[in-house]
Amino acid sequence: MIFTRTDIPDVIICEPKVHGDNRGYFVETFRADKLEKFLGYKIDFCQDNESKSSRGVLRGLHYQLPPHAQTKLVRVIQGRVLDVAVDIRKNSPTFGQHVAVELSGDNKKQILVPRGFAHGFVVLEEDTVFAYKVDNYYSPECDRGIAFDDPALGIDWQILHEELNLSAKDRVQPLLKDAKDLFEYGIDYYTILSRQGTDHA
C-alpha cells in the first residue's frame, strides 16, 4: 500500500498493490496497521457502506458534526467517480480548498477524507459501485452539507450542470460562507471524540 499526501496534507491517497495473473487478481484494500503508522494516529472504522449509481448522480457535499464526525475511506469497486474533499475547518490555511481525484475500479485508488472535511462525488460512468468505510455511525441530528456548486469552491465536476442528478436535500445546501456549523482548525477531533450514534441505512 502506497500512501501519498495531497495538496491538502490531511487528505491521503491510498494505492494498494495489485497482484494479478491469468486467473485474475488479488488486492489488500485495507490494512489498519500500515495506514495508522503512516497517519500517526488510530482510526477505528466501524461500518462499511456501498452504493450503486448511474452516470451524472452527484452525492454531496456532506459531513457530520461532532460528536459524530466521520472519517471516510472511499473507493470504487466498479465504474468511475470524481471524488472531492473540501476543507471546512475555520482558520485552516487551506479553508475552502478542495482535493479532487478520479477513483475507478481500474485504478483502485482510495481517498482518506478526515474529520473536518466535507465529502462528495459525481459518477462518471454507468453502473458505478462506490464503497466506503466510516469511523462513526450516522446521526441525523449532526448531518450537514454545503452546496456542491458554490462558486467560491471552484469545483469542476466534469459533467454539465443540467446532466446532474441530485437528491432534493443536496439541491438546497447552503454556500460555505452561510454554513453555520463547521469545524475549527487546530482541534484534534480524534482524541476528543469517541464513536457514538446509530446505524444508517
Does the pLDDT value for residue 199 go beyond 60?
Answer: no
Please identify which residue in the block is written with the cell numbers 464513536.
Answer: 195
Instruction: Round to whole Å and give the CA distance between 29 and 4.
Output: 15
Q: What does pTM read for this prediction? A: 0.92
| Extended strands (E) in the chain | 2-5, 12-15, 18-21, 24-27, 47-53, 58-64, 72-78, 80-87, 89-90, 98-104, 110-113, 117-123, 128-134, 143-145, 183-184
pLDDT band at 21 (very low <50, low <70, confident <90, very high): confident
Mean pLDDT over 128-139 rounds to 97
Q: Which domains does the chain have, with CATH numbers?
A: 46-183 (2.60.120.10)
Spatial contact of 124 and 81, defined as CB atoms under 8 Å apart: yes
Instruction: Round to whole Å and give the CA distance between 40 and 86.
Output: 22
Question: Active-site residues: which are they?
Answer: 62, 132
pLDDT digits (tens, 9 = 90+) for 26-55: 999 999 999 999 999 999 999 999 999 999
Does the pLDDT value for residue 198 go beyond 60?
Answer: no
Instruction: Round to whole Å and give the CA distance between 168 and 165.
Output: 10
Which residues does 172 contact at the CB level (< 8 Å), separation at least 6?
none
pLDDT digits (tens, 9 = 90+) for 55-112: 999 999 999 999 999 999 999 999 999 999 999 999 999 999 999 999 999 999 999 9
Mean pLDDT over 2-13 rounds to 97
Tell me what pLDDT residue 49 has.
97
Nearest by Cα to 59 from 46, 72, 45, 40: 72
